[in-house]
Amino acid sequence: MNKKLIVVIFLIYILTFSIQAQGIFETIDSTINKIEFNGFVRASAYGATELFDYSSVFSEFVLQPKLTQGKTYLYTDLRFRTGFNFNEQYSVFQLNEAYAGYQSKKFDLFLGNQIITWGRTDGFNPTNNITPNDYFFLTADLDDQKISNFMLRTRLRFTPNIDIEIIAIPIYKPSNYRYNLFTIENNINYTEIILPQKTFKNASYAARLNFEFSKIGFSTSYFRGFDTFYGFNVENITFTSQLPLITNVPKPYLKNTIGADFTLPLGFVIFRGEAAYNITKDYKELIYIPNPDVAYVTAVESNLGGATIIFQYIGKYTIDFINLEEPILTDALNPLAHKQYAEEMIFYELSLFNRKMFYQQEKTNHAISLSINKSFAYNTLDIEFSAYYNISSEELMLRPKISWKITDMLSATFGGAYMKGEEGTIFNYSAPILSGVFVGLKASF
């Protein structure tokens, strides 16, 4: 039997059985507090980019059952998706989230695949080191890019306003950013990522002490583990009669992060802030490890004329910063000097590329962002606009989006993304793939 058909039958069987089971449980066991079966079916298309007419086209069925029985909690997000991604046809059955645990007024414990986001600022969260992202899963909703981690998560509530959350992630999972999709240079290839060994010492740990009061909210946090956002190292150089063939390998690095954030409402304005001190080692010897740095975001949010407006400043200060020195050919008549110069240039260019990815090409990096959201026609039409501009690297991104609630269960989304950067910048490399338009239709149940 066709595998796709088996999966569809399996999902229908789960849904049918669950609905029947719900009635049985509600009749027999009065201790059940709540059981829900939500989900949606959607179709999405993203394309009209410079390199791909159809970057991402798919249809998807999602089932999200949730059960609360006494102090037992269960949540699952099952997805079946089929379509085309960068000209490659695929079908996937995805367990996006699946976790169970114990939930009470004072203590929570959950184990399984979960998506956790820390931080109080909008979209730029220096303290959020837990959740990886698939930056090349292109849809109208940026939350679709979040990837779940298998983790043990506990929360202890000291008071209704103070709690501590502790997370342990035994197996590292990286973000996905596919530079192999476009050619930066014709003679450069990228291999599969080299993942850390699955050992206790390579596990990630995080803790967050949170305070929520009526006039202010703030938290302090700590993270120890491999960063989901990795760098590149040179794996191999093969010299030919023309250009050298270069193979780069993605390599994660270990770091410690101390973070803090706050939210402060003052009248009709809300001030938010977030900062993280990232500590790394061996960054002087290994080009894929960034320098220690301090990343910070300050934000102002207000409602003007029914529109929610958020303006943010995003900064980074690189510690122990040293300018890269471009290699020099010492002896133009010596073939060995030419080879040495070529190798040094390769490491220099990749070091510069890594610094651009980590926003460490200068000692300080400055950027701003603006988001505007307004609803019309009794909340049936929602218009969003977000913009990001990196002052230091002169990179620009614009993202308009319109959501139309056709009925209570059916909605449509239209929009696009535009990226621009000077030659050699990350946005300049990414624009041919990520600058495009998107459309989606979603029916929820």
- Tokens for 4, please give them: 């796709």
pLDDT of residue 32: 52
pLDDT of residue 1: 45
* Distance from C-alpha of 356 to C-alpha of 371, rounded to nearest angstrom: 24
295: β partners: 276, 316
Q: What is the sign of the dihedral through the CA atoms of 99, 100, 104 and 106?
A: negative
- One pLDDT digit (tens) per residue for the chain, 445 residues: 444 444 443 444 344 444 444 443 344 344 557 889 999 999 999 999 998 999 999 999 999 999 999 999 999 999 999 999 998 999 999 999 999 999 999 999 999 999 999 999 999 999 999 999 999 999 999 999 999 999 999 999 999 999 999 999 999 999 998 776 765 566 788 888 989 999 999 999 999 999 999 999 999 999 999 999 999 999 999 987 778 888 999 999 999 999 999 999 999 999 999 999 999 999 999 999 999 999 999 999 999 999 999 999 999 999 999 999 999 998 888 888 888 998 999 999 999 999 999 999 999 999 999 999 999 999 999 999 999 999 999 999 999 999 999 999 999 999 999 999 999 899 998 999 999 999 999 999 9
DSSP secondary structure code for residue 331 in this structure: -
How many C-beta atoms surround the C-beta of residue 163 within 10 A? Answer: 19
Single-letter code of the amino acid located at 69: Q
pLDDT of residue 182: 61
- Tokens for 1, please give them: 């039997």
Q: Which of 381, 415, 413 is nearest to 397 (CA)?
A: 415
pLDDT of residue 189: 85
From residue 384, alpha-carbon distances to 20, 254, 356, 381 in Å are 41, 37, 29, 10
Distance of CA 264 to the CA centre of its chain: 26
- Tokens for 434, please give them: 């990520």
274: β partners: 261, 297
* Distance from C-alpha of 147 to C-alpha of 304, rounded to nearest angstrom: 34
Tokens 């089971």: give the residue.
21
* Distance from C-alpha of 100 to C-alpha of 433, rounded to nearest angstrom: 38
Q: Could you name the CATH architecture of 104-444?
A: Beta Barrel (2.40)
pLDDT of residue 177: 85
* Distance from C-alpha of 149 to C-alpha of 132, rounded to nearest angstrom: 8
Contact predicate 87/54, CB 8 Å: yes
Contact predicate 409/352, CB 8 Å: no
Single-letter code of the amino acid located at 89: Q
How many C-beta atoms surround the C-beta of residue 142 within 10 A? Answer: 16
Tokens 């960054």: give the residue.
283
Alpha helices in 279-392 (DSSP H): 335-357
pLDDT of residue 185: 63
* Distance from C-alpha of 437 to C-alpha of 427, rounded to nearest angstrom: 17
From residue 27, alpha-carbon distances to 23, 30, 65, 73, 214 in Å are 6, 7, 19, 20, 41
pLDDT of residue 253: 97
* Distance from C-alpha of 203 to C-alpha of 26, rounded to nearest angstrom: 41
DSSP string covering 408-422, please?
A: SSEEEEEEEEEEE--
pLDDT of residue 178: 78
Q: Which of 244, 354, 197, 347 is nearest to 288 (CA)?
A: 354
pLDDT of residue 206: 98
Phi, psi for residue 19 in degrees, rounded to 5: -65, -40
Per-residue pLDDT tens over the stretch 63-118: 999 999 999 999 999 999 999 999 899 999 999 999 999 999 999 999 999 999 99
From residue 7, alpha-carbon distances to 106, 184, 301 in Å are 40, 39, 45
Q: How is the chain split into domains, by residue range? A: 104-444
